[in-house]
């Protein structure tokens, strides 16, 4: 097992009706609030009114920034940061899925800065301070509610980059599974894929850690046991809660302890598909993961088989890839590029972007020849 530091300061409020405490928690960070949300789902579900009434109850000044899109972009982060600076905000309330909460984290370091928040993502600048973020999660998937990472897209440089800093943990996150029942079938499925992918990225990281391996198996078991059931019963709050908790635990540190780092090569491939063709994050991963496992099958056969055996009773790397792919297909998450409208004519651009962005795993390196093989495996 590798040395590690366990640190996670986010206070999690989990369960039915936890939002009753939102207003008083936000008020403890000050009076001037930037309320960040997406394209409108929170208005359809009534969550918008609930949040506003919690903030008004405490007589807070509310400034809204809405319209954050899936695969969030740096332009929104910078515009919202400018608004935050202008209004001299004390805290940010982020209500939505990973895209909204990631944007809020980037805004939290962008607001006190005097340059684009993109400079943090490219390593040109380091944050010195951050505006506190209080998150209300509406979609179980990314784990952003209890980690320090944000993933932001730059359409000009054709790059989607993840960045993390200890200042970026949400101070509080409110997770009421009742607010996830409106997530449609496809995004529910992509969320299940994403949480499995997070557990696996950590599993394939550097270093041996038997207890985190078991955490990975347990988290993936939750997803494969309850995910398909949830997809046939989308309004089941109990099942929504199980998936929500599993998604939070998949990427809050638990599965990372005892390893130097995770791999994250599959996420790198997925981000290229998202930045080029706006493929939803989880959908990009269900296409890339089986291909990556096949690519790695003769490099790390024992590790892959161990995973496959524990999760699916698989007996070889190919059997593991097959069973993982069959699970994704069963949940209607795509497993081939053609299923998200990407035909062969687009392969060269994907290939070039993988190369330009130097996409690789942190533990298992990807070569130029691997890009060709991966494209083939994601297509056949």
Residue 87 per-residue DSSP state: T
Question: Applying CB under 6 A, does 179 fall inside the site for ligand NZQ?
Answer: yes
Site size toward Zn ion (CB under 5 A) is: 1
- Closest CA relative to residue 169, chosen from 122, 133, 117, 125: 133
Q: How far is the CB of 344 from ligand NZQ (least distance, A)?
A: 25
Tokens (6 digits) for 258: 């005892």
> Based on CB atoms, which residue is closest to ligand NZQ, 110 or 143?
143
> Based on CB atoms, which residue is closest to ligand NZQ, 22 or 100?
100
Question: Applying CB under 6 A, does 251 fall inside the site for ligand NZQ?
Answer: yes
Tokens (6 digits) for 85: 């600076």
Binding test (CB under 6 A) with ligand NZQ, winner from 9, 40, 46, 341: 40
Q: How far is the CB of 223 from ligand NZQ (least distance, A)?
A: 14
Which positions ≥6 away from 240 have C-beta within 8 Å?
140, 177, 178, 180, 181, 230
Q: Which does 150 bind (CB under 5 to 8 A by kind): ligand NZQ, Zn ion, none?
A: ligand NZQ
Question: Applying CB under 6 A, does 149 fall inside the site for ligand NZQ?
Answer: yes
Task: Report whether 43 contacts 72 (CB < 8 A).
Answer: no
Measured between alpha carbons, how far is 241 from 51 in angstroms, rounded to an integer?
20
Question: Applying CB under 6 A, does 38 fall inside the site for ligand NZQ?
Answer: yes
Task: Report whether 91 contacts 33 (CB < 8 A).
Answer: yes
Q: Which does 81 bind (CB under 5 to 8 A by kind): Zn ion, ligand NZQ, none?
A: none
For tokens 């995004």, name the residue.
Answer: 187
Binding test (CB under 6 A) with ligand NZQ, winner from 13, 60, 65, 71: 71
Question: Applying CB under 5 A, does 194 fall inside the site for Zn ion?
Answer: yes
Q: How far is the CB of 371 from Zn ion (least distance, A)?
A: 20
Q: Please, which of residues 262-301 interact with ligand NZQ by CB under 6 A?
A: 267, 281-282
For tokens 């320090």, name the residue.
Answer: 148
> Based on CB atoms, which residue is closest to ligand NZQ, 43 or 299?
43
Measured between alpha carbons, how far is 28 from 96 in angstroms, rounded to an integer?
22
Q: Please, which of residues 203-232 interact with ligand NZQ by CB under 6 A?
A: none
- Closest CA relative to residue 289, chosen from 313, 270, 315, 311: 270
Distances (CA, A) of 54 to 14, 23, 31, 108: 17, 4, 13, 21
> Based on CB atoms, which residue is closest to Zn ion, 194 or 370?
194
- Closest CA relative to residue 222, chosen from 195, 203, 204, 202: 195
Q: Point out which residues bind ligand NZQ (CB under 6 A).
A: 38-41, 45, 70-72, 96-100, 102, 138-139, 141-144, 147, 149-151, 179-180, 182-183, 187, 191, 194, 251, 267, 281-282
């Amino acid at each position: 097992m590798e040395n590690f530091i366990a640190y996670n300061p986010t206070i999690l409020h989990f369960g039915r009706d936890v939002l009753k405490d939102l207003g008083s928690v936000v008020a403890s960070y000050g009076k001037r609030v930037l309320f960040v949300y997406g394209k409108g789902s929170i208005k359809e579900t009534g969550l918008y009114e609930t949040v506003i009434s919690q903030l008004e109850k405490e007589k807070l000044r509310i400034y809204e920034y809405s319209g954050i899109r899936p695969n969030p972009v740096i332009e929104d982060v910078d515009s919202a940061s400018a608004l935050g600076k202008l209004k001299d905000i004390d805290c940010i309330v982020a209500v939505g899925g990973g895209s909204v909460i990631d944007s809020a984290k980037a805004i939290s370091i962008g607001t006190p800065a005097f340059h684009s928040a993109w400079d943090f993502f490219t390593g040109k600048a380091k944050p010195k301070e951050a505006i506190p973020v209080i998150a209300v999660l509406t979609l179980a998937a990314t784990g952003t509610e209890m980690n320090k990472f944000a993933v932001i897209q730059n359409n000009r440089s054709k790059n989607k980059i993840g960045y993390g800093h200890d200042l970026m943990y949400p101070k509080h996150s409110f997770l009421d599974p009742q607010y996830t029942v409106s997530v449609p079938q496809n995004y529910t499925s992509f969320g299940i894929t994403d949480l499995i992918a997070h557990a696996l990225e950590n599993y394939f990281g550097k270093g041996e850690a038997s207890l985190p391996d078991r955490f990975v198996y347990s988290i993936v078991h939750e997803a494969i046991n309850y995910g398909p059931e949830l997809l046939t019963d989308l309004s089941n709050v109990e099942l929504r809660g199980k998936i929500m908790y599993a998604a939070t635990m998949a990427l809050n540190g638990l599965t990372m302890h005892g390893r130097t780092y995770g791999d994250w090569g599959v996420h790198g491939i997925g981000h290229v598909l998202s930045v080029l063709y706006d493929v939803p994050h989880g959908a990009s991963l269900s296409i890339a993961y089986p291909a990556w496992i096949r690519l790695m099958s003769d490099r790390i056969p024992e590790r892959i088989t161990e995973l496959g055996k524990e999760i699916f009773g698989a007996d070889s790397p190919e059997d593991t890839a097959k069973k993982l792919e069959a699970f994704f297909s069963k949940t209607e998450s795509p497993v081939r590029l053609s299923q998200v409208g990407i035909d062969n004519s687009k392969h060269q651009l994907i290939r070039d972007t993988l190369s330009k962005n130097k996409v690789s795993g942190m533990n298992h390196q990807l070569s130029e020849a691997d890009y060709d093989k991966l494209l083939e495996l994601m297509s056949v």
